[in-house]
Amino acid sequence: MDSRARLDAAHPGERIIAAMSSDSSRPRVLTFEAARHLVEQHAVGVYPGDVETVDLLAGLGRVLAEEMVADHDFPPFARATRDGYAVRAAVLAVVPARLEVVGEVRAGDWPDPARCSVGRGQAVGIMTGAPLPAGADAVVMVEHTSLVVAGHLVTDHSVEVRRSVGAGENFVPRGAEARAGERLLDRGQRLDHAGIAIAASVGKSQVQVFRKPRVAVLSTGDEVVEIDATPGPAQIRNSNSYSLAAQVQNAGGEAVRLGIAPDERGRLRALIEEGFGCDLLLLTGGVSMGKYDLVEQVLGELKAEFYFTGAEIQPGRPAVFGACGADTPVRLPAADALSTRTGVSALHKKYFFGLPGNPVSTMVTFELFARPMIEALAGMTPRGLVFLRARLKSEIRTKTGLKRFLPAVLSGEFENAEVELARWQGSGDIAALAQANCYVVIPPERERIEAGEWVPLLMR
């Protein structure tokens, strides 16, 4: 097959990979969608780390390395979902009807069919969560019944039912939710509270999860100082290492903060090489067009392959995605710390993202591009970005050409949500971002969006 035919046969995203690997020095600015797809495609090819066993609650937010299988039928018996009386539905075709109460089943009781079963004209008192006694095919809610007054005495020997009920109502048949042996959670699913409930229900006090990927975080910039320093007149505290570390943890990774690289080749290169000892490297700053933006140059010296060197988005246009090292189809070792003596070429393929240094750009590009790679390294089954929609509160005017992810506030009562842009001073404005709870997504061709229009949102 010639290369042209191969490209034609490929998935649209694969075509991009193939087309791009031919010349690694050209700038490659992709549309947002193409850039995102490229990351997703690379993410499919990575392997999670080793498996470890943790206590159930320590598994919250971790990625399952085992399936959760029903160890019994769910529910294990026909389970009443209402307090009331177990009956034969057919006898309530005409109501009101008087039924003889022949017993009671409480939650936790097991009704002995010899002594507690429902015949025609009979009822058995039943509580939510209790097993349906033999002979019954429905539960009538207690709210639709009254105990019969005999003379001046209220007895629990008979009950008057005011509403009819259909067969099958107000109980869940045995095994209706899941049969024994059925898979309830997949490997690669991230455990949330619902997953914890499943694990608990099948008797797992410990769960097998994937080791968290180690993600190196390296800030760059001569003006950037550590957060406990008192910044000089032209210095900025290193907030990016911390926001990124938080986002890494949130995405299921373990952040390894490598500190701050100055805008100087040697030190930057040493720290980048150290970063390749982790499963993934995130850099911030130094990817714009400035004279001292050295990140791409130094990665180029390390024989990096660049999949994109920019995306048509705002904030975050200069974002870079690439990899260093040989493309070996083996599991990533747990922590193959790189000694600078061995050189990067001896490495398994390691991906990196160079995120722009402006703090809002850093945070946005992490969510758009770095997160799916971290999730894949953590063993998660890939999932696409999901956008919600809400009504715009006040008009937006912007320029065309870039897809915009603008910090915004979603508010309103109950179902009446409305969204409004946060007032911000641009990509450095973390104060505005801290007030925002989402991003409004504006397509590149739109200049004006009117109040009242439904706009896509990415939640933060």
The binding site for ligand AMP (CB under 6 A) comprises 219, 221, 223-224, 236, 238-241, 284-286, 288, 290, 356-359, 428
Q: How far apart are CA 371 and CA 364, in angstroms?
A: 10
221 binding Mg ion? (CB under 5 A): yes
Judged by CB, which is closer to ligand AMP: 131, or 357?
Answer: 357
The residues pairing with 251 across neighbouring beta strands, listed in sequence order, are none
When the beta carbons of 114 and 234 are compared against ligand AMP, the nearer one is: 234
Among Mg ion, ligand AMP, none, partner that 288 touches (CB below 5 to 8 angstroms by kind): ligand AMP
Residue closer to Mg ion (CB basis): 66 or 223 = 223
Kindly compute the dihedral angle of the four CA atoms of residues 248, 254, 256, 262, in this order, to the nearest 10 degrees.
-10
252 contact choice in ligand AMP, Mg ion, none (CB below 5 to 8 Å, kind-dependent): none
| Stretch in the footprint of Mg ion (CB under 5 A) among 234-242, 245-253, 286-294, 306-314 | 286-294
Residue type, 319: A
Residues 450 and 257: their CA atoms lie apart, in Å, by 43
Q: Does 285 bind Mg ion (CB under 5 A)?
A: yes
31 binds, among ligand AMP, Mg ion, none (CB under 5 to 8 A by kind): none
Q: How far is the CB of 293 from Mg ion (least distance, A)?
A: 6
Crossing angle of helices 32-44 and 12-20, in 10° steps, is 90
- Closer residue to Mg ion in complex, CB, 4/291: 291
CB of 263 to ligand AMP, least distance (A): 8
Within 8 A by CB and 6+ apart from 2, the residues are: none
Binding mask 339-378 for Mg ion (x = CB under 5 A): ------------------x---------------------
316 binds, among Mg ion, ligand AMP, none (CB under 5 to 8 A by kind): none
Q: Within its chain, how far is the Cα of 78 from the centroid?
A: 34
Instruction: Choose from Mg ion, ligand AMP, none: what does 189 bind? Cβ within 5-8 Å by kind.
Output: none
Q: For residue 42, what are the contacts with CB-CB under 8 A and spacing of at least 6?
A: 307, 321, 323, 351, 373
Are 27 and 310 in contact by the 8 Å Cβ rule? The answer is yes
Q: Which does 407 bind (CB under 5 to 8 A by kind): Mg ion, ligand AMP, none?
A: none
Least gap, CB of 409 to ligand AMP (angstroms): 23
For residue 294, the partner it binds in Mg ion, ligand AMP, none, with Cβ less than 5 to 8 A by kind, is none
For 459, the token pair is 């939640």
Taking a C-beta distance cutoff of 8 angstroms, is the pair 124, 85 a contact?
yes
The stretch among 7-15, 62-70, 174-182, 220-228 that binds Mg ion (CB under 5 A) is 220-228
Q: How far apart are CA 8 and CA 11, in angstroms?
A: 8
Select 170 or 238, whichever has its Cβ closest to ligand AMP: 238
Closest distance to ligand AMP from the beta carbon of 234 (Å): 9
CB of 15 to ligand AMP, least distance (A): 30
170's contact among ligand AMP, Mg ion, none, with CB below 5 to 8 A by partner kind, is: none
Q: Least CB distance from residue 431 to ligand AMP, whole Å? A: 13
Q: Which two tokens stand for residue 94?
A: 């005409």
Give the contact letters, 372-411, x = binds to Mg ion (CB under 5 A), - = no: ----------------------------------------
Q: In terms of CB distance, is 248 or 347 closer to ligand AMP? A: 248
Structure tokens at 460: 């933060």
Nearer CB in complex with ligand AMP: 61/428: 428
- Name which of 230 and 416 has its Cβ closer to ligand AMP: 230
Please name the amino acid found at residue 83.
D
Q: Of Mg ion, ligand AMP, none, which one sits near residue 219, judging by CB under 5 to 8 A according to partner kind? A: ligand AMP
Closest C-alpha among 315, 425, 408, 325 to residue 366: 315
DSSP 343-405: -GGGSBPEEEEEE-SSHHHHHHHIIIIIHHHHHHHTTPPP-----EEEEESS-EE--SSSEEE
- Contacts for 164 with CB less than 8 Å, ≥ 6 apart: 89, 92, 93, 94, 95
Strand partners, 405: 441
d(CA 137, CA 164): 13
Judged by beta carbon, residue 247 or residue 284, the one nearer ligand AMP is 284
The DSSP element (H or E) to which 32 belongs, if any, is: helix 32-44
Partner touching 356 among Mg ion, ligand AMP, none, CB below 5 to 8 Å by kind? ligand AMP
Specify whether the CB–CB gap between 319 and 354 falls below 8 A.
yes
- Write down the least CB distance from residue 243 to ligand AMP, Å: 8
Strands 403-411 and 313-314 turn out to be parallel
Applying CB under 5 A, the residues found at the interface with Mg ion are: 221, 285-286, 357
